[in-house]
Amino acid sequence: MSGLVIFGTRPEAIKLAPMVANIRGAQPAIDIGVVCTGQHAEIMTQTLNALDLVVDENLNLMQRDQTPMEVVERTIVSLTERYASERPDWVLVQGDTATAFAGALFGYLGESTVIHLEAGLRTHDIHEPWPEEGFRQEIARLAGLHLAPYPCARENLLNEGIEPDSIQVIGNSGLDSQDGMLAQIADDDTAWLPNGDFVLVTLHRRENLGERLEATCRELISTLDAYPDLQILWPVHPNPKVRSTAFEFFGDRKDRVMLSEPLDYPKFLHAQRAAKFVVSDSGGVQEEAASLGTRVAIVREKTERPDAVDLGLTRIVGADATGLVDAVNDFMATPVDPVSVAKWRALQGNGNAGAAAATALLNKIEADQAVRQRA
Ligand code: UDP
C-alpha cells in the first residue's frame, strides 16, 4: 500500500511531522512519499530543519502575491502531472489550507482514500476565517478517515452527517511537536527577547488585512499607552500587506516595539512561553500559547477552538480588536489557572497524538487492503 503526504505551509509541517515519523517507523515498512507544494516557501525551510521532517519532493509552486485560487489550480495540475500515474492508495492532508484542499481533491479524483488530520474544526461561517473554513468543510466531504483533535471536532463532523466509524479523536499532534522541540532547546536561550514584560503579536489572516488590521494596530497603541512598562514583540508575516501596515504604525516605535522577521519555530515557542500574553489571529497559536500557560487575545470574530475559550485561556476580542483593552486589563490583573492549562493539554492528547494518528491510519489502510483483496 503506497501513500502520499501532501502539505505546503509551516503549520501543516508542524502538525504532520509527529505522524509522519510514526508512519515512517512502522513495521512492516510502508511506502510513503512526502511532498511539499512550497505554498510558504520563505518560512518553510527553517521549520522543516527544526522538525527533522525530510521531504521527498518539493514542487516549489509558490509565486509572489498568489491567491488561494492560483495555489489550488497549480497544486492540482502539478500533483496530477507528477503523481496521478502512481495511483497512491491513500493521500494524507492536514488542516485547512489551499494545499490541503487541492491535495484532498487530487486524492478523491484519483480514487485514493483521503485521510484528514485536524478534521472537524469549525466556526460554521465560511467567511471567518476565509478561505480556511470553506476548505476544511469541503475536505470533510472527500475524506474517508477523519482524525479529529478534540471531542468537539468529532461532534461537528457528526452534525454534518459524517459516518461515526470514520472519525477518530486522536488529539493535537502540534502539541507533540511543541513538547519535543522544547525538550531539545535550552530554557535560557532568551537573551534576544525584549527585557521585561512583553506582548507577543502575530497577525496574518487574509480577511483581516486592511481596515481591520489598522484598527488592531490602534488598539495595540492604546494598550501600550495604558501599560507604560509593556513592550511588543511582533514577528511580522511575510505577506507585503501585513508588513506595510506593521511598519507604518510601529516602524518608529523601536523604544517599545520590536518588529522582527518570522521567528524560527523553537524561538517562537520560547517567545510564546515568555510573553505576558499573546495577541493573534492564528489558529495554531491559540493552541500552543494556551498549552504553554500564556493567554491569547484572539483577533477574530469567531474561533474553531471553543474549549480554550471556555477554559479562560483564550478570548475573542473581535477582528478589529475592539475588546482588546478589556482583555488586557483582565490578563494583567489575574494569573493563569494551571488547572485550566492541564485540562487543555489533556484535551489535546498530552503529546501522544502523532502515534495515535499513525495507528489510526495504519488500521484504516489494512482494513481497505482487506476489502480490496476480497473484491
Ligand atoms: N510560527 C513560527 N514562527 C513565527 C510565527 C508562527 O514558527 O514567527 C508557528 C507557530 O509556532 C505555530 C504556527 O507557526 O505552530 C502557526 O502558523 P500560522 O499562524 O501561520 O497558521 P495557522 O495556525 O493560523 O494556520
Per-domain residue ranges of the chain: 2-172+349-374, 198-347
Cα 268 to middle of ligand 1, angstroms: 8
Residues 6+ apart with CB under 8 A from 135: 96, 97, 98, 100, 101
The helix, strand and coil proportions of the chain, stated in percent and rounded to the nearest 5, come to 50, 15, 35
Q: Per residue in 3-19, pLDDT tens? A: 999 999 999 999 999 99
Question: What is each CA distance from 276 to 97, 217, 235, 254, in whole angstroms?
Answer: 30, 18, 16, 19
Cα 50 to middle of ligand 1, angstroms: 13
Q: Per residue in 149-195, pLDDT tens? A: 999 999 999 999 999 999 999 999 999 999 999 988 777 778 899 99
Q: How far does Cα 215 stand from its chain's mean position?
A: 24
Answer yes or no: same fold for 2-172+349-374 and 198-347.
yes
CA–CA separation, 45 and 43 (whole Å): 6
Residues 357/147, Cβ–Cβ less than 8 Å: yes
Pick the CATH number of 198-347 from 3.40.50.620, 3.40.50.300, 3.40.50.2000, 1.10.3720.10: 3.40.50.2000
Q: Is the pLDDT of residue 40 over 80?
A: no
pLDDT band at 1 (very low <50, low <70, confident <90, very high): low
Which residues form ligand 1's pocket by a CB distance below 6 Å? Answer: 10-11, 14, 174, 202, 204, 235, 262-263, 265, 268, 282-285, 288
Q: Per residue in 98-134, pLDDT tens? A: 999 999 999 999 999 999 999 999 999 999 999 999 9
Q: Which atom of ligand 1 is nearest to the CA of 280?
A: 19
Nearest residue (by CA) to ligand 1, atom 25, is 283
pLDDT band at 62 (very low <50, low <70, confident <90, very high): confident
Q: According to the model, what pLDDT value does residue 372 have? A: 83
CATH 3.40.50.80 holds for 2-172+349-374: no
Task: For the chain, state the CA radius of gyration.
Answer: 20
* HSE toward the beta carbon, residue 58, CA cutoff 13 A: 14
Residue 9, number of CB atoms within 10 A of its CB: 22
Beta 198-202 vs 277-280: how paired, if at all? parallel
Q: Per residue in 245-291, pLDDT tens? A: 999 999 999 999 999 999 989 999 999 999 999 999 999 999 999 99
C-alpha cell read off for 32: 510513503
CA–CA separation, 206 and 263 (whole Å): 20
Q: State the catalytic residues.
A: 96, 118, 132, 204, 206, 237
Cα 161 to middle of ligand 1, angstroms: 31
